[in-house]
Amino acid sequence: MIFRPYNFSAGPAALPTEVLETAASQMLSYQESGIGPMEMSHRTDLFLEIMDSARETLRELLEIPQSHDILFMQGGGIAQNAIVPLNLMGHRNPSNPVADFVVSGTWSRKTETEASKYGKANRSFELVARSPLEHLNVVPELFSENASYVHVCSNETIEGVEIRNLAQFARSTPHPIVVDASSNMLSTPVDFSQVGVLYAGAQKNAGIAGLTIVVVRKDLMGHAHPFCPSAFDWRLVSEHCSMYNTPPTYGIYIAGLVFRWIRDNGGVVAMERQSFLKSSALYDCIDRSALFANHIDPSYRSRINVPFHLEDRSLEGRFLEQAEIAGLVHLKGHKSTGGFRASLYNAMPSEGVTALVEFMREFERKA
């Protein structure tokens, strides 16, 4: 029996053990073909079946309507920071590309900065996590009249800020909403009637690094800037069923296994319920403690990435060392924030959170 600690990494992150076991059992031979998924040409019937099945399971899990296409791309969220404006910023007026940005943390700030290379990037809102300045659903007049889209990061992985009232927010603007859901995709249902584009790197909640999932409303394709690289033109990628260039085949295979695991474990609604239970247990422990703290406004606290710190920062090293001995790993916070961060993606079992909470209580008792 291999010892596997509870892995709280923000990404690449823990995968469900069942997924890894299936992948291991098929490593040398997929469906008695004598060929493993990593070795297969993307043009073979076997791989096409893997990809179609992954796409359809994702469609079923998130109830993605036929008005939207599912693209399997590469380059991660950072590449989409350029790919989105290259495809969409000039959608309304190619000679005056404009988009609006909700800045709620590090990732959405990066998105805004990258987009400003391609047109006018308006900062419509800045959410300050400690005291939200605006409630997203009440200030539609802050949107630019001529914006081609409004960009939102639904979960800021570093600060632990999650925007949960996305559909309500989307209804307050006439512009298509583009969502960076890199860290909370598949942990909550999405109302795609309110979403123009949703993208996520797979390495947190949907598999391994190298695959980027992009869900695009079909009428938002076909407006790419002439300089947009062909491999990043959503319409071309869609017309070639994500085979315009060689797709990240192994990432798609693993994502397909993860999607099936989610389906077999109650679907996205069950994942959401679990994420509320897991994160509430941890926030409750932090809030009751005199030693640990999280200063994010409770209405924006992330269910997925829970940052916290010790009021006495000199104890940080000891906490991490002892946590590791207790089988709780990758709890170090992002270098920009310091402290700790527990990432509670779908693959983190509730037992992992219970073990962390017990460890924190014991650490505090002894401190």
Ligand X SMILES: Cc1ncc(COP(=O)(O)O)c(C=O)c1O
Residue 167 touches ligand X, criterion: CB under 6 A: no
Q: What is the CA radius of gyration of the chain?
A: 21
**Among residue numbers 139 through 158, which ones bind ligand X (CB under 6 A)?**
153, 157
> Contacting ligand X (CB under 6 A), which of 11, 37, 90, 352?
11
Q: Can you give the length of the chain in residues? A: 367
> Contacting ligand X (CB under 6 A), which of 9, 104, 182, 242?
182
Q: Which is nearer to ligand X, 182 or 294 (CB)?
A: 182
CB of 10 to ligand X, least distance (A): 6
Return the closest-CA partner of residue 207 out of 58, 328, 60: 58
CB of 153 to ligand X, least distance (A): 5
Q: Which is nearer to ligand X, 77 or 307 (CB)?
A: 77
CB of 254 to ligand X, least distance (A): 15
Residue 201 touches ligand X, criterion: CB under 6 A: yes
Residue 107 touches ligand X, criterion: CB under 6 A: yes
Q: Which is nearer to ligand X, 57 or 155 (CB)?
A: 155
Binding mask 43-82 for ligand X (x = CB under 6 A): ---------------------------------xxx----
Residue 302 touches ligand X, criterion: CB under 6 A: no
User: Residue 100 and residue 121: Cα distance in Å, rounded?
Assistant: 6
In the 8-state DSSP scheme, what is residue 174? Answer: S
Total residues contacting ligand X by CB under 6 A comes to: 11
In the 8-state DSSP scheme, what is residue 125? Answer: E
Residue 183 touches ligand X, criterion: CB under 6 A: yes
Catalytic annotation present for 117: no
The SS3 call for residue 261 is: helix
CB of 308 to ligand X, least distance (A): 18
Catalytic annotation present for 107: yes
Q: Are 300 and 127 in contact (CB under 8 A)?
A: yes
Q: Are 251 and 209 in contact (CB under 8 A)?
A: yes
Task: Compute, in degrees rounded to 10, the torsion defined by CA atoms 351, 354, 356, 361.
Answer: -160
The SS3 call for residue 25 is: helix
- Give me the amino acid identity at 78: I
Q: Are 12 and 258 in contact (CB under 8 A)?
A: no
Return the closest-CA partner of residue 343 out of 73, 127, 162: 162
Give just the sign of the alpha carbon dihedral 57, 60, 63, 69.
Answer: positive
Catalytic annotation present for 366: no
Q: Which is nearer to ligand X, 183 or 294 (CB)?
A: 183
Site residues for ligand X per CB under 6 A: 11, 76-78, 107, 153, 157, 180, 182-183, 201
Annotated active-site positions, please?
Answer: 107, 180, 204
